[in-house]
Amino acid sequence: MIKNLLLIFLGGGLGSCARYLISKYFNQFHAVPLGTFTVNILGSLILGFFIGWALKNNTLSHPVSYLIIIGFCGGFTTFSTFSLENLNLIKSGDYAYFVLYLTGSIFLGILSIVFGIFLARSL
Q: What is the pLDDT along the chain (123 residues), one digit of tens a residue?
A: 999 999 999 999 999 999 999 999 999 988 889 999 999 999 999 999 999 999 999 988 899 989 999 999 999 998 888 998 999 999 999 999 999 999 999 999 999 999 999 999 998
Domains identified in the chain, total number: 1
User: So what's the pLDDT on residue 47?
Assistant: 92
Domain that holds residue 15: 2-122
Is 74 flagged in the annotation as binding? yes
CB 2 within 8 A of CB 63: no
From the number of C-beta atoms within 10 Å of its C-beta (0-12, 13-18, 19+), residue 111 rates as middle
User: pTM for the whole thing?
Assistant: 0.81
Is 13 flagged in the annotation as binding? no
